[in-house]
Structure 1
Amino acid sequence: MKKAILATSVLSALMSGSLVAAEVYNKDGTSLKIGGRAEFRGDFIGDDKGNEIDGSMKNKSRFRLNVGGETQISDNLTGFGFYEAEQSVDSSGDNTANKQFKQRYMYAGVGTSFGALSFGKQDTANVQVSKMTDIGTHTNTQKDFINGGDEQVNNTFAYSGKFMDALSVQASLIAAENKNENGYGLSGLYTLPFGLGLGLGYSANDNGDGEGKANQVIGGVSYTIGSFYVAGSYTQGDLNDSDSGLLNKESFTGTELAAHYKLGNGFRIIGAYAKSTVKNEVSGEKSDANDFVEITGRYDFNKALRTYVTYKMNNLKVTDKNGDHVDAENSLRLGLRYDF
């Protein structure tokens, strides 16, 4: 990494902006890009949580807008910033407008010849490993357990560096406002020349004053050959390591498998499986947080416009409107996404 611009290219992997983002300004070493997406998502039969849809369709559509800028200070120093917000749809029948934008990312940083440092609301270090299997409509369940391993986390200091064009190293520190809520993480992702990727990460955080601690280990492996990609990830750790006798000592495990195959002419098929379980270490009781199989057919008109249909077979139990414990509903999702 002889130039700072190489360090900021590592950080671009953290950005959730569109690959077709438009450069609207570039002068005297300073550039500005605007991107985002408009995506219709309609759920039929059941929603993504497994609850039955009483009517015909639940609207899960969303609109994202992001702005990213970069300025070249010298050969070895670059400054950058990124912001992204999302607006969803109120699916109720009274056509109530959703006027609120949800802040997803907002951070600024500097890129050096040794890597990039950024500060703000952003992904923690473990996310580069959990994203190895995040290629489906309902995937990326491995990030949901603890704050120290999640995405879009406030008050995060992050480092990202790439070495030997094969090893991506990330580190993160959460400097929380509240007492005893700090966290940290460290991960590495090594990609071999023949398409094999190996990822490993560790994160931990305090749950609050007197509320114990949480930790997570995550590992991932992927393989790419031609038009075929397959990946798997496994994670385990503690949601709460406190042994106060109040039945709040909990651990978790999570498995996610995903694959896709590009059929050509814009078509591809995606399959995924995910299961995560939470265990109360005092009572021994277990409960599943995720347990599903999804199959997706996708067609890309071009790099900006795609359509897809996903069927999610949900194996969970849910509580219905009557308070009964019933089998979760499967879900059929239709989508149309435009990136800009």
Structure 2
Amino acid sequence: MKKAAIATAITTLVSGSAFAAEVYNSDGNSLSIGGRAEFRGDFQGTSGGDKIDGTMQNNSRVRINVGGETQISNGFSGIAFYEAEQKVKSSGSNDKNDNFEQRYMWAGLSSDAGAVTFGRQDAATVQISQMTDTVTSHSGIQKTFIQAGDEQINNAIAYSGYFMDALSVKASFLLAEEENENGWALSGIYTLPMGLGLGLGYAANDNPGANAQDSTQVIGGVNYRLDGLYVGVGYTQGDGSKKFAGDNKFNSVEAVAQYRFESNFEAVLGYQKGEIDPDGLDKYSVSDYVEFTGVYYFNSTLRTYATYKLNNLKADSSQRTEDAENSLRLALRYDF
């Protein structure tokens, strides 16, 4: 296992782009810069299912990341990564957004045995949820149920290793600043030579307060890749979702199928349904939709896509005051 491969895999995972450009390399020190600029316009309904009173809600964003590596000795190096995101203000006013949101900020050590990183980063189970988090617009709810299984968590220590050219292992520890909020997570994905991947993960963290149960989560995923075809299915369940203040159970299923044609057009079909079952209250849905996406790649860095989301959330089954709206998203994305 090569330390450079580990560092590259981590950077690609958190940035969502494999096109970071090396801008400096001297005396064992290297620096890379990457990111994306993405126009995203929503019509009819927002991604959350609310009605758009006007013509379009603008959800455009830009991400910028910087990654560094310094060689300490043969097979041993220091690594660091930072990424920030700025979104356009989606309100009816023409106000500009002056704020950048911090997404990742970590530093660590990398060797042939793996990488250990410290800072704001993904929990170990996020690699399982990302087996289905490929839909262009709205996927990814499985990684947001509990704190210790979420992406971009503060006070995290993480280990990442890749073995036998097939097994990806991750472990993370949440060292919370507040009392009784520590957590941990562990996951692994084994990919068979035929292209079939099998993933399993577990996360747990304490919850403070007399009316809050401790959180636990089991998550599993299966994916398959063959030429232009990719299929992924994920399922998670557990106790103590942060989406509900009291004691509760939760579950979610997510599936995606996509095929990229030789014409550089990609068709994507996604499905997701997530439920919360509060103690003493009726079960309700937090997500329930089918999504159709068409993507055209002009080249390796520029793409355009259109997504239509059929939102099945009803007023009587999702703690909403009215049925959720369907949504059409048109977008243009440039990776650098």
Q: Quick check: TM above 0.5?
A: yes
**SS at the partner of 2:39?**
strand
> 2: CA distance between counterparts of 1:239 and 1:121?
23
1:64-75 correspondence to structure 2 within 5 Å: 64-75=63-74
Counterpart selection for 1:308 from 301, 305, 310? 305
> 1: CA distance between counterparts of 2:93 and 2:3?
52
1:283-318 Cα shifts (integer Å, max 9, x gaps) = 3x1010000000000000011100000000000135
> 2: CA distance between counterparts of 1:318 and 1:304?
41
1:77-101 Cα shifts (integer Å, max 9, x gaps) = 1101000000001122320111010
- Does residue 268 (structure 1) correspond to residue 270 (structure 2)? The answer is no
1:201-225 Cα shifts (integer Å, max 9, x gaps) = 0001112244331010000001112
> 2: CA distance between counterparts of 1:200 and 1:138?
23
1:182-201 Cα shifts (integer Å, max 9, x gaps) = 11000000001101000000
- For structure 2, the residue ranges without an aligned partner over 5 or more in a row are none
> 2: CA distance between counterparts of 1:9 and 1:163?
15
* Deviant stretches of 4+, over 4 Å: none
When normalised by structure 1's length, the TM-score is 0.93
* Partner residue in 1 for 2:110: 111
* Partner residue in 1 for 2:332: 336
1:86-121 Cα shifts (integer Å, max 9, x gaps) = 000112232011101000000000002211000000
CA contact (8 A) 1:294 1:311 kept: yes
> 2: CA distance between counterparts of 1:191 and 1:265?
28
* Partner residue in 2 for 1:171: 171
- Does residue 287 (structure 1) correspond to residue 284 (structure 2)? The answer is yes
> 2: CA distance between counterparts of 1:90 and 1:7?
36
> 2: CA distance between counterparts of 1:273 and 1:200?
20
1:131-210 correspondence to structure 2 within 5 Å: 131-136=130-135, 137-210=137-210
> 2: CA distance between counterparts of 1:42 and 1:240?
30
Amino acid at match of 2:276: V
Number of residue pairs matched?
A: 330
When normalised by structure 2's length, the TM-score is 0.94
> 1: CA distance between counterparts of 2:76 and 2:56?
50
1:324–1:124 CA distance, 2 compared to 1 (3 A) = closer
Percentage of pairs with the same residue: 55
CA contact (8 A) 1:133 1:140 kept: yes
1:299–1:10 CA distance, 2 compared to 1 (3 A) = closer
* Partner residue in 1 for 2:236: 235
CA contact (8 A) 2:146 2:241 kept: no
- For structure 1, the residue ranges without an aligned partner over 5 or more in a row are 242-246
* Partner residue in 2 for 1:244: none
1:9–1:175 CA distance, 2 compared to 1 (3 A) = same
1:162–1:13 CA distance, 2 compared to 1 (3 A) = farther
Counterpart selection for 1:325 from 307, 321, 325? 321
- Does residue 225 (structure 1) correspond to residue 223 (structure 2)? The answer is no
C-alpha RMSD of matched pairs (Å): 1.8
CA contact (8 A) 2:241 2:250 kept: no
* Partner residue in 1 for 2:253: 255
**SS at the partner of 1:107?**
strand
CA contact (8 A) 2:293 2:305 kept: yes
CA contact (8 A) 1:212 1:240 kept: no
* Partner residue in 2 for 1:83: 82
> 2: CA distance between counterparts of 1:38 and 1:13?
16
CA contact (8 A) 2:166 2:191 kept: yes
> 1: CA distance between counterparts of 2:221 and 2:94?
43
1:57-85 Cα shifts (integer Å, max 9, x gaps) = 00000011100001111122110100000
